[in-house]
Chain A
Amino acid sequence: MNTYWIKTLVPLLIIMVISSCESYLDLDVKGKVTETDIQTNINNLNNQLAAVYSQMAKNDFERSLYRFGEMPGDHATMQTSDYTDELLQLATFTTGPANGSLATFWKACYRGIKAANDYLNAHDIVYQQWMDRVDEIFAISGTYSPLISGQGTIGGVELRTKNELTYMAGEARFLRAFFYFYLVRTFGDIPIMPQKLVIDATGNNFYQDRTPVDEVYDYIERDMRMAMAVCRPAFSLSFNELKAGRITNAAAAAYLAKVIGYRASSGETERWAEIPPITRWIYSDAVQLSYNDVLGPAFPGIGWDELSRSLYLFKYDSIRPTSRVNNVANIHNQLFPRYDMLNWVENEFNQEIIFSINHVYTGDGTTNNDNRGTVIWNDLYNMGSLDGEAVPGSSIYSASVKYSRDYGIVQGADRDPRWATSTIGSGFIPFYAGISVSNNFQSPTPAHRTITKYFVNKQQMPQNRVNSDYPRNIILMRLAEVWLWEAEALNEIGKAGEAMELVNRIRSRANRLKIETDVKSWDYVKAIVNSNTGVYIDADKPVVLQPIPLLSKEINREAIWKQRGIELCFEFDRFFDLVRTKKIAEASTAWNLSDGVLVGVVPKQFRRGINEIFPIPQDEINKAGGRWLQNPGY
């Protein structure tokens, strides 16, 4: 029997198997999008950028807005004495580092930072690929001019892509700075994470030391300035555009001003002087800024070539440090005429609104989508549930007595119309037919009011209440705030007249409601407004706000701060404003005297030098392995 064929074949097979191993094993992971898959083309960049935006719209981030921005402040009151309530601990400065809300906020911000970092890494790669294509095109056509003008296509490449790519990098930088800003003002020293996380057998760069506050602000400022230099000019947006909600250069400029304002202290002038040119550039065409003006202060000693590369400015454009940065051009040039209607869904993206977290109603039945409805509605007004119907119930917090004392109850000069349209007290019309309003919704005292600024308007009910698909945008920056920053800066640098002029413009806009009441009787207006427009007015006729007179710098400063309090009430910055202006101790005491004496309300236990910032989440300290010290006092 001849068995040689077998004897040769089998070893041959064995050899074949072994030799073919390597390619046989190079199996792509199927059904998954890997880093190399996604960092390949420009359209994918859009999807990664959307991920950065979506971190803002996440429940964890939006909840943290009121948890940290309002509840520890003096405008809000929680009616519970339950010390186990993590939110009460935040509101009364009794929290320890184990409080879960701290970790939630911390993580939400760092998720945003990671998304932005990932985006920028991908952007680098894709941009380089795109530039390679551009060079190929040059080799064919011999000219870059169509690219520079951003018109048409060459070789299938959309030339307007050039601008889009530059904008997108700016948007990611803005959002990175935005999240760091929330972190630094809440937690103090925080770790700045490397843009590229590295993991391998020899170690990784996951564990970073905490960066001092000042350096964090430097980092934020650099990102904001770069964003301001390259983001999409605001004039290209209008209410109906599909790009509405994208970050614009106006948003970056406004946040830059805000960041500088947070770093500036009362009495000094150098930083305050930086603000007015930036803010004016936002609303006035008359002010023009060069790249040097915008970037210069934050990038000492860095050459233009390097800077323009990191801005993804097209290398063949003749952009120079002295070139003019795109203007906002008259979009945000004036306030929206009606303070009381500023927040309506219908008025989203109005001229005053510079930056908001976008929410839409989709009605397509998709679930698990944070972007389609804001959780704040649910948290504040949908606590009780009757078969899924929205019931204004035991909201997490309501307006404080102190808020009413400061702006509403006291008869006289300052019964502010904004007080009446931002909150609602007892005795108002049930806001949704067929649902009786629980007692909790009405205040225990006339002064103790439910906050309506954002959400409780008849027309503003979520269209799909079961899933709280509530399309209302969360406004985070508007022109009034920009003006208030400018006014504060002007006052500090000795231009009180210009400062109070801006403040009084804001005040007179609030009087718009009053002007209408001059024509008809107040009761008539109240009834009409309540039944038709969905604004609830339950208070007495507001007074007409008079212009604030010019006085000393210190008195003006107090007046401006007070205007911030009412104009921007319940817009999630109150606590940080109190800390920044060093009024938090005083405000807490005053709050204790007004709200703290109410039954079921626990006094704030503010400790100076400790509670200005919150503790780093305990789990993070543990996981950082002793690298981080806890904030003092916690």
Chain B
Amino acid sequence: MKKSCIFLAVFIFSVISTVAQIRITGLVKDEANETLPGANVVISGTTRGTVTDIDGRFEIAVPSGETELIISYIGYLEQRIAIGDQSYIEVTLRLDALQMDEVIVLGYGVVKRSNVVGAISSVGSEDFQDRPVANPVQALQGKASGVSIIQNSGAPGEGAQINIRGIGTVNNSNPLYVVDGIVTGGIGHINPSDIESVEVLKDAASAAIYGAKGANGVIIVNTKTAKTGEMRVQADYYYGAKQYWNSIDMLDSYEWHIHNLIRSSNPNLRNDVEAGRDAYYARMPNIKWLDEISQVGNTQRANLSVSQGIDKMNYYLSAGFYDENGLVRTSAHRRQNLLFKVQAKPVKWVTLDLKAAYQGSKTDNVAGGDNSIIRDALISAPQRIYDERDGFMLNNPLKRIEQNYNKSSNDRTDLNADLKINVLDGLVIQSRVGFEFISNESDNYGMIEPMYELYLYELGDFKRPSIANELNRNKKFIWENIVNYNNSFGRHDIGILAFTSMDNFSRFRVRGSGNSFLYNNFSHTALDLVAYNRNLSGAPESERNVGFGGRATYGYDNRYLLEVNFRADASSNFPAETRWGYFPSLSVGWRMEQEAFLSSIYWIDQIKPRASIGQSGNNRISAEDQYTIYGNNNLYTFGTTNNNYFYDAYFADNIGNPSLLWEKTTTYNVGLDYGFFNAIYGSLEYFQRYTSDMLIRVPVTDATGLNTYPRQNGGDVLNSGVEIELGLRKSFGHIKVHLRGNISFIQNKVARLGDRDDPIYGGGVSNPGIGQITYTAVGQPIGQFYGFVIDPVNPIYRNRDQVLADPLYANMDQPSLLVGTFKFLDLNGDGRISKEDKTIIGNPHPDFFGGFNTDLEYKNFSLNVFWQYSYGNDVFNVMKFWLDVGGTNQSNNGKGQTISNKRKENIGKFISLNTVATYPFDPVYNPENIEYANLLAINQSMVKIDENFLDGNKSSTFFVEDASYLRLKNITLSYNMSSQLAQRLKMSRIRMFVGAENLLTFTNYSGLDPEIGSTRAAANANTSMGIDYGTYPQARTFFLGVSLGL
């Protein structure tokens, strides 16, 4: 008790010690003889230190008895200077191309880069600082090899689909996130300005320490901590304006009318034209709905941080504010971040780290997915007028935005405490706890159409304003205890780590919805006002995990490296008999450059071959799967209409599997790290990931009466690939160059799906009713597009004779129905078109992808150019149906249907241009006319050919497009004001920057944006990738900003 009081006292009143001191001054320069402001000068073995001023000078009080100073600066080799009796020290730091001494954060520990034996990619804070992005994940895109990041859409607040080294499972394949040592659900909430570094653990040897959660790789994020030395205040701000980088030209009002006329063969319209009334259409307003619903978006972020290191304690305090208004009106995302970190060392052998982080965000959503507002805007008839009282505007996308209110907010608090005790030299005992409180709210409100305000109606439910509110509260507690021992005995380096981990997660969800009687007032909505269709749902949910494990590392003579990891995990999600899983790994490395036969070659800095094998797991299934769950979603009534008694009807749609096991992923990895001339560096990796016991729903016959296929450990998936990273970092006089590039080739193949290898279908397109379009089958990658192949030579039957000439249709009763339809290939040659003729028609996953980064620095200027690319990925472009083929626009409760507007480039396909001189079309319908056949194609291919022999499913090569792209993701030019000038402005540092995001995109894709992720929940995302429903495109953003050091 007494001790703890002292402890507290020390913590609160950290007093600057007052032992005998000597003062040392010095100067830090680089190889170009330029001074380095902001370099760290630390007294070895302490946290005491300072930083160099704008002239690169420092002054430090060194207690007597301390013997060494450590001078370091990012990107430069660290130098240790013996103090001796010097009072002035001048240091020249050498550029460190390889950064081999950089410390890499592994699970439960750290390691020097030179000793890494696993496959790990690192991304530093410089990759986050100037990017106008809300979510750190966006800034990771293209930076690390083997890490595929596909932004789901460009909507504010939207997430991304992340796959590390291919897709290991058809289930949730998101990586595990670890923030400051604490396992958490994601990193989207983190302020990018607070990020110090990100490590991506890619192979199982590195991830095995995370056991049952590590199968899909681990992303470790470390937030900034205080630098030693005096108080630093840092303020950053940028502002960006967003606009579309791409557009689609649509028919204007007049053209649309003519198109409409030909398509619908509506006699009234025909008469209009014949009577010359078509001129009227030419005078109709010509509305570009996408413009109407769009705005110049903007984005801004402000950040203020204060940090200071005092004798026995340091702190870092940061406050951030992010604000984004999207391309589509009302879509927005706002976020506030607070981070407070304190590190105290009350006595030499104790370190206490405390962290408190708060994040609050609000997102205003617009409709996406199957009901995308972008799609609505593109295909809405161009002539309708926006008018409060005009029934014409019923189906107006602008109205749709204004009448729907869909907000979500997220509040999150993280509290971490971490106590480290140095028991002996090299032996550290550590205990840490983390609390996580997350609450999500969503608030939806749908107005009624103004039309119904004018009439007295017997209101159906759909005409009443609708309200839906949902509240999710998540709590998580995690406690870990770690014992770490590191020591060297002669040439032997030994490290031993052991830990235990337990966590407890609980969630509570409540949702209420209904229809109100109050009209059209957003601000007064509440569930209390629900008068009709009151619906309430909600449930608790919980999960607990325990685990223990350890790591042993052994190094001999700095040459031979060996690492063994082991973890055992148990989760309440699995049945008691099977819940323990054991995850071992082994890796070896050889630092060849340390060998005598290479050490004489001066230009070799590093040659490190390494290999690893390991296993990790995936526990992300629902705890329900082991149970047979009875649901109450129906009832049956006995008695008569006037006198009856209800019984809730409990029925089990699923069957619980009490013998479920973890999914396991075994990874084999061989790699080579290299560095030459202290300039060129990089790595090569080859890996194989084998996921076994993949949890899938194995199809069973309907005769079982089950609605949900039972979950079984039935699948195997193989991913293999090559990753190459290459960098060049060198100074050429005053020009500093840093080039980095990476490329990843990853192949994905399903090896087994249940006992009978039944394929898994996914990616439903309900509007238009194409149905499921992806196909996951043995021998194929996950989530392939699946459908008919259209004859490349004669894609369309232009007339009845062509149909009759095709032996496929010789026996059809009404072959004329097929005029204008796509000619599908009879792949299996059985003389008919049936669903057996469907085949794989596209692959949403790229053949290779990566990024290329150029940093150039000349005196005070620096230029960053970052390209990102993806090659060979296909997109299933649902928009082609709306923009090129047919369909009516029938959102908004089926009211006010119109034929969808079309892409302008199709104009020649609709209208016989020869006859434009008199009439815009030939009023005599000529079925032999090719153009007419084309329009029949438009008319019928998607609508009429819903023939049984096609099984009602028309997915075809028509929709699949190559969406390879190369994108100038970011270009930033920044100017570091000279220190003298900055000083004159009473600042220590002033940096200004200007740049653009998504400035250039090279692609052949016909839609608004080739980067299409998935709009589905994580558990289904991989079987529904790359479907463009009219996806909210990513914006081109021009931004400028300033960064001030006070």
Query: Interface on A for B, CB 8 Å cutoff?
Result: 1, 3, 6-7, 10-11, 13-14, 17-18, 21-22, 24-27, 29-35, 37-38, 44, 46-51, 53-55, 57-58, 81, 83-84, 86, 89, 96, 98-100, 103, 106-107, 110-115, 117-118, 190-191, 193, 197, 199-201, 204, 206-208, 239-246, 345, 348-349, 358-362, 365, 367-372, 387-388, 466, 471, 617, 619-620, 623-625
Minimal Cβ-Cβ distance residue in B for A190: B703
- Are A617 and B576 in contact, CB atoms less than 8 angstroms apart? no
B638 and A246 within 8 A (CB): yes
Interface residue ranges of B786-836 to A (CB < 8 Å): 813-814, 835
- Known A199-B655, A371-B634; further 12 A-B contacts with Cβ < 8 A: A7-B423, A10-B431, A27-B544, A33-B632, A34-B629, A47-B649, A53-B636, A83-B814, A84-B946, A199-B656, A244-B639, A360-B640
The listed residue (A27, A48, A193, A200) touching B657 by CB distance below 8 A is A200
The reply to whether B460 and A367 form a contact with Cβ atoms under 8 Å apart is no
A54 near B634 with CB under 8 A, answer yes
B540 contacts which chain A residues (CB < 8 A)?
Answer: 30-31
Partner of B947 from the list A84, A117, A208, A372 (CB cut-off 8 Å) is A84
Query: Whose C-beta in chain A lies nearest to the C-beta of B699?
Result: A623
Question: In chain B between 630 and 658, which residues have their CB closer than 8 angstroms to a CB of chain A?
Answer: 630-641, 643-645, 647-652, 655-658
Residues A47 and B546 in contact, CB atoms below 8 Å apart: no
Closest to A345 in B: B641
Residues of B within 8 A of A362 (CB): 637
Q: Are B649 and A199 in contact (CB under 8 A)?
A: no
- The reply to whether B703 and A208 form a contact with Cβ atoms under 8 Å apart is yes
Q: Compute how far the CA of A193 lies from the CA of B704 in the bound complex, rounded to whole angstroms.
A: 7
Interfacial chain B residues near A24, Cβ < 8 Å: 502, 544, 546
Say whether B947 contacts A200, CB under 8 Å: no
Residue B706 interfacial (CB < 8 Å): yes
Task: Report the minimal beta-carbon distance from B426 to chain A, rounded to whole angstroms.
Answer: 14
Distance in Å: Cβ of B506 to nearest Cβ of chain A: 8
Identify the 7 closest CB pairs spanning chains A and B, nearest first: A114-B705, A31-B539, A50-B647, A51-B649, A51-B651, A27-B572, A50-B636
Q: Which residues 648-688 in B have Cβ within 8 Å of A in the complex?
A: 648-652, 655-659
Given contacts A50-B649, A369-B634, A370-B634, A30 and B701 within 8 Å (CB-CB): no
Tell me if B636 and A26 are in contact (CB < 8 A).
no
- Is B286 positioned at the interface, with any CB of A under 8 Å from its CB? no
Alpha-carbon separation in the docked complex, A241 to B500 (Å) = 63
Interface residue B349 (Cβ < 8 Å from any Cβ of A): yes
In angstroms, how far is the closest chain A Cβ from the Cβ of B29? 42
Q: Are A239 and B481 in contact (CB under 8 A)?
A: no
**Is B888 among interface residues, defined by CB-CB distance under 8 A?**
no
Q: How far is the CB of A374 from chain B (nearest CB, A)?
A: 12
- A243 B638 Cβ-Cβ under 8 A: yes
A32 touches B636 (CB 8 A): no
With beta carbons under 8 angstroms apart, the residue of A47, A84, A99, A617 that contacts B702 is A617
B948 at the interface (CB under 8 A from A): yes
Decide: A18 and B546 in contact? CB cutoff 8 A. Answer: yes
A47 touches which of B429, B532, B633, B648 (Cβ 8 Å): B648
Bound-state Cα–Cα, A348 to B641, Å: 9
Distance in angstroms from B14 CB to nearest chain A CB is 19
- Which listed residue, B479, B546, B640, touches A244 by the CB 8 Å rule? B640
Do A83 and B648 touch across chains, with their CB atoms under 8 A apart?
no
B571: CB under 8 A from chain A? yes
Q: CB distance B641 to A242 under 8 Å? A: no
B297 interfacial by beta-carbon distance below 8 Å: no
**Interface residue? B68 (CB, 8 A):** no
For B571, the chain A residues whose CB sits under 8 A away are 25
Chain A residues, Cβ within 8 Å of B951: 98
- Known contacts A25-B546, A200-B659: does B641 contact A35 (CB below 8 Å)? no
Q: Do B629 and A33 touch (CB < 8 A)?
A: yes
Complex-state Cα separation, A106 to B643, whole angstroms: 33
Q: Does residue B624 face the partner (Cβ distance < 8 Å to A)?
A: yes
Q: Using A3-B349, A25-B544, A32-B539 as known contacts, say yes or no to A371 and B637 having CB atoms under 8 A apart.
A: yes
Asked if B710 CB lies within 8 Å of chain A CBs, one says: yes
Contact between chains at B700 and A25 (CB < 8 Å):
no
Can you list 9 contacts pairing A with B, beta carbon distance less than 8 Å?
A: A29-B624, A47-B649, A51-B650, A51-B651, A83-B813, A83-B948, A199-B657, A207-B700, A624-B701
- Give CA–CA (A84, B700) in the complex, Å: 28
Given A10-B481, A24-B502; A245-B650 close (CB under 8 Å): no
Answer whether residue B548 sits at the interface, using C-beta atoms and an 8 A cutoff. Answer: yes
The reply on B986 being an interface residue by CB < 8 A is: no
Asked if A25 contacts B948 (CB within 8 A), the reply is no
The reply to whether A35 and B702 contact each other, CB–CB distance below 8 Å, is no
CB distance from B146 to the nearest CB of A (A): 33
> Whole-angstrom distance between the alpha carbons of A44 and B650 in the complex?
9
Asked whether A18 lies within 8 Å of B705 as measured between CB atoms, the reply is no
Among B538, B539, B630, B946, the most chain A Cβ lie within 10 Å of the Cβ of: B630
The complex places the Cα of A371 from the Cα of B835 at a distance, in Å, of 36
* B480 CB to nearest A CB, Å: 10
B712 within 8 A of A: yes
Contacts of A388 in B (CB 8 A): 458, 460
B294 at interface (Cβ–Cβ under 8 A)? Answer: no
A33-B647 contact given A51-B636, A199-B657, A201-B659, CB 8 Å threshold:
no
Interface centre among B576, B639, B699, B706 (most CB of A within 10 A): B639
Q: How far is the CA of A84 from the CA of B945 in the complex (A)?
A: 9
* Chain B residues within 8 Å of A57, by CB: 636
Contact A17 B500 (CB under 8 A): yes
Closest chain-B Cβ to A148's Cβ sits at a distance in Å of 27
